[in-house]
Amino acid sequence: MQERLDRFRLLHIGEDTIRYDFFAAVMETNSLRPSQIQLEVPINGQCFIPLAEKISFRKEKPLIDMVIMEPILNISAEFGLFRQNSNENGTINKTSRAVKMLNDMIRVSLEAHFTGTKGLFICVADHKMLGHQIRSNIIERFPSSYRISNDIIEHQLKQKTNQFDHRFLKVFQPMKREIVSDLIFNEILMAEQIKSETRVLIWEVALA
């Protein structure tokens, strides 16, 4: 990621590129072949309950961004890119990004639980997201380690910014468990193209 930011501004980098960089890095550091890494994999069917009211001739197949199930590395991962939009002087909806993070952590924690993998949430974030805290203060400032409970989810569901995927909540909430998200990697990127602080962040996410 550092090398890419030496060449391009974060504003011109998309989430798929973040996935590609991690894909290449994990191959190199673990001596894996491309065929050992799966991208956009259907989530385990135990992780969600399909929407009953949805009329469709095709089964719902929500996807997980990356799965590696090898003796050397056994992970399920979701990715996020939290950066400014095309208007460099404009604002961004930081709370919606925080809820997106919580939503992804719910998904990947369930996937890890039902498949026996280690769940990861991998994110690149710029200065506009760093330090943000949802107004209700229900979770720590971004980025931090988090404990995500039903109380937190229920509180946020009552707010305007509440874009949770209810298919996964219908599985998680009856379990009456918490999600523990430990921030295990937090690296500041320094490059000529970056005019402000940018970080690569990785959380290990699991049901407790």
Q: What angle do CA 100, 104, 109 make, to 5 degrees?
A: 150
pLDDT of res. 80: 92
Q: Which two tokens stand for residue 165?
A: 């995927």
End-to-end Cα separation, the chain, in angstroms: 32
pLDDT of res. 113: 98
Kindly report the pTM of this predicted structure.
0.89
pLDDT of res. 162: 77
Rounded Cα gap, residues 183 and 205, in angstroms: 9
Rounded Cα gap, residues 95 and 137, in angstroms: 11
pLDDT of res. 88: 57
pLDDT of res. 30: 94
Strand partners, 79: 122
Strand partners, 126: 198
Distances (CA, A) of 103 to 26, 80, 116, 153, 201: 24, 11, 20, 10, 17
pLDDT digits (tens, 9 = 90+) for 164-193: 999 999 999 999 999 999 999 999 887 665
Residues of the chain with pLDDT under 50: none
Residue 61, domain extent: 2-207
Domain count, the chain: 1
pLDDT of res. 193: 56
pLDDT of res. 94: 79
The length of the chain, given as a count of residues: 208
pLDDT of res. 5: 72
The answer for residues whose C-beta is within 8 angstroms of residue 157's C-beta and 6 or more apart is 164
pLDDT of res. 180: 97
pLDDT of res. 130: 82
pLDDT of res. 56: 55
